[in-house]
Structure 1
Amino acid sequence: MVTLSPQLIENLDLSAGGILGQSARIDPFHVRKLNEDDMVEELDMSDELLKRLKAENIDALISVVGGQGLSILYKLHRKGLNTVCVPRSIDNDIASTSVSFGFNSALSFTIEMLDRARQAAQSARKIAVVEVQGAQAGWLALQAGIAACADAVLIPEISCDLKILAGRLKDKISPRRPYGLVVVAEGAKFIKKTQKEESTSSLKASLSPLATGEASDHVIHRSGMAAETVATGLQLLIAEETYPLVIGPWVRGGTPTAVDRQLGMAYGAGALQALKAGKNGVMVAFVPPEIKFIPLAEAINKVRTVSADSEFLKIADSLGIYCGR
């Protein structure tokens, strides 16, 4: 544990937000440990966690967490933990809030990297295929792609036909403009031609020697697969050379933007107000122009996705950016 004193907070470097660390990957209800037989088993350590918090005289917990963390905190709340949650997501996919803490910083860095990729593609006369974060929601890819004036943006919400994408790129590429920029969210989906074949269980398909990363949930999806899929598919359909680039989780580092600093201060102040007002088991949400408190039960198990009538999709269409539709 790190004791947060006023002096420590004042002297923290602006880029050292990771001093507190993250534990979203560690679910206290499912802790993997080796037993006496050297076999991995899952244990429920939630009671031990609550006892430790009580021993440290911690009356309430303000947690800066993502979607998985919200579900964990909700279960801990039901077991007696006093908690207020602040939404953190560089994908901006947490429901019940317009902007999650960390999204603007990730967006700014992604736009900067896309600008560099565009310049490199222009110089090398190639098509840059850049993969960004966004397993379930395409906010980061869409907003960054619009800002960088990409030729195409592929997001999880809209399945893409690579043949149509290749045709759109052919129309744009010319001797005067011999390059292109395609932004791909890591969770982008692609339309495939259906073939008649015997039905196979998802587990058997994933274990097949010819299994791909999309065989089923039994396969471990790796970073860069979306960019490689698009780059390889385009290379087979058009004459121009393509090259994939993965920004991925590297957007998590760096100094927070001014917007995120202000948003973080507002979320922190709101969390304290909630505790002082006796509110418990809630998430602080930014619903312009106000800060509201949403019960955790209403905030979990939901994903904020890009709707079909999103203004950002309309902006992309007006700019001639192909988004799969």
Structure 2
Amino acid sequence: MRIAYTQRIKFIWIGVVELKKRIGILTSGGDCPGLNAAIRGVARASYDLLDCEIIGIKGGYKGLIDADYKIMAAHDFSGILTRGGTILGTHRTPFKQMRRIEEDGIDKVANMVKHYNQLKLDCLVTIGGNGTHKNANLLREEGLNIIGLPKTIDNDIYGTEMTFGFHSAVDIATEVIDRIHTTADSHNRVMLIELMGHKAGWLTLFSGIAGGADVVLIPEIPYSEEKVYEALEERRKKGKDFSIIAVAEGAVNKEEAAMNKKDFKRYREEMPYQTVSYRLANQISTNLGFETRVTIPGHQQRGGSPSAYDRVLATKLGAYAARLIAEENYGNTVSIVNNKLRATPLEEMASKLKLVTRDDDLVKTGEAVGLTYGD
């Protein structure tokens, strides 16, 4: 009898298992139209390019400090393109306070780094304005992988020609000016519309020109009350007893512009008027005899559904961010330069504001059509 022995040899293939990329997303600072479109752009493009998992950080940097997050699913990003606000929530966390240890002993920066690592994030996408970019750059300096997206209705982020949220705010502010025109004309009033913009006047400049304002006052061009009076008197001589003045909330007169920060702060605190627009309205009424009214659309400029332009822009920026993540090209913000998308180092974007200059083409355009800046 012959017995055959069969030996079974087990082969074990050892390969490289590629783990899912874990991408965190947060929205920080003031809300604006287009945030959800940007979130959606990052998510959908990331799912297309990568095997990834997306973690939504709730309430901006505060959510990262407190480890408040949600593991997102594809359906979370459905139906949000047109929705205003942000599905992740937002919170203002001033850059100057980031390294301050609070009374409860919380080290905010250390907590953010710890929770980033605990979540095993490969990258954090930060969506916001100037303060958000400063904090993002701080985290980059701490060794985290960061990609930024530029959001603000002020359009004042250095290094990019356009921010999403701005176009929608201009549309809203322009509609306010349009509606004020008819009532100003009917009652022969000087109407002052105060728009958002503490340091940058882009929103007021664009809206003022688009809405046909007669006077535009912005922070970068200190005004003289006498020059404003002259413009209104000139219109009155031409038989136009009504005027529209678009005023940025951060507008200053020449006297205030010459003050140091401490004196200016004290001066404004002691000012018996709610805002600069109310002060100017009173001055115009007292010195020229015009009936005046002030309109402040306020947070309406931040709310509601984004314009078609902002939906497209936010989607483009978000999709490009996903591409940078796929390339592991971290430490950048997605910007627009010469109308093209590019990656700009965070440290450049966070370094300063983009402000209106007196020789800007749009400023000159306004003057060419009879608008005055009060200087």
TM-score by length of 1: 0.86
Question: Which residue does the alignment assign to 1:11?
Answer: 79
Rounded to whole Å, the distance in 2 between the matches of 1:142 and 1:98 is 15
Aligned partner (choices 327, 346, 353) of residue 296 of structure 1: 346
Structure 1 residue matching 2:290: 3-state secondary structure: coil
Rounded to whole Å, the distance in 1 between the matches of 2:185 and 2:91 is 41
Structure 2 residue matching 1:269: 3-state secondary structure: helix
Question: Which residue does the alignment assign to 2:267?
Answer: 212
* Change over 3 Å in CA distance of 1:18–1:153 after alignment to 2: same
Question: Which residue does the alignment assign to 1:23?
Answer: 91
Cα root mean square deviation, aligned? 2.8
Over residues 136-158 of structure 1, what are the superposed CA-to-partner deviations in whole Å (9 max), with x where a residue is unaligned?
A: 11111111000111010001111
Counterpart of 1:61, as a letter, is: L
Aligned pair 1:121/2:190, yes or no? no
Aligned pair 1:104/2:167, yes or no? yes
Q: Is the 8 A contact 2:85 2:303 kept in 1?
A: no
Question: Which residue does the alignment assign to 1:322?
Answer: 372
Q: Is the 8 A contact 1:90 1:252 kept in 2?
A: yes
Superposed displacement of residue 43, structure 1: 4.9
Rounded to whole Å, the distance in 1 between the matches of 2:136 and 2:151 is 14
Could you list the runs of 5+ residues in structure 1 that have no partner in the other structure? 36-41, 195-199, 216-220
Rounded to whole Å, the distance in 2 between the matches of 1:202 and 1:26 is 19
Superposed displacement of residue 120, structure 1: 2.1
Aligned pair 1:182/2:234, yes or no? no
Structure 2 residue matching 1:321: 3-state secondary structure: coil
Over residues 215-241 of structure 1, what are the superposed CA-to-partner deviations in whole Å (9 max), with x where a residue is unaligned?
A: 7xxxxx999512112212212221111
Rounded to whole Å, the distance in 1 between the matches of 2:237 and 2:190 is 12
Superposed displacement of residue 122, structure 1: 1.7
Same amino acid, percent of matched pairs: 27
Q: Identify which range, 72-81 or 115-124, moves more after superposition.
A: 115-124
Structure 1 residue matching 2:191: 3-state secondary structure: strand
Question: Which residue does the alignment assign to 1:312?
Answer: 362
Question: Which residue does the alignment assign to 1:148?
Answer: 211
Structure 1 residue matching 2:132: 3-state secondary structure: helix
Rounded to whole Å, the distance in 2 between the matches of 1:224 and 1:85 is 36
Q: Identify which range, 43-52 or 151-160, moves more after superposition.
A: 43-52
Superposed displacement of residue 191, structure 1: 2.1
Q: Is the 8 A contact 2:157 2:163 kept in 1?
A: yes
Over residues 253-300 of structure 1, what are the superposed CA-to-partner deviations in whole Å (9 max), with x where a residue is unaligned?
A: 011001101100110011111111121111110113310111111111
Counterpart of 2:87, as a letter, is: I
Structure 2 residue matching 1:85: 3-state secondary structure: strand
Alignment of structure 1 residues 154-233 onto 2, 5 Å: 154-173=217-236, 176-192=239-255, 211-213=266-268, 225-233=275-283
Structure 1 residue matching 2:86: 3-state secondary structure: helix
Over residues 126-183 of structure 1, what are the superposed CA-to-partner deviations in whole Å (9 max), with x where a residue is unaligned?
A: 1111111111111111110001110100011111001111111011136953211000
Rounded to whole Å, the distance in 2 between the matches of 1:119 and 1:33 is 52
Aligned residue pairs, count: 306
TM-score by length of 2: 0.75
Counterpart of 2:153, as a letter, is: I
Rounded to whole Å, the distance in 2 between the matches of 1:279 and 1:23 is 27
Aligned pair 1:47/2:97, yes or no? no
Counterpart of 2:160, as a letter, is: T
Could you list the runs of 5+ residues in structure 2 that have no partner in the other structure? 1-68
Counterpart of 2:267, as a letter, is: T
Question: Which residue does the alignment assign to 1:39?
Answer: none
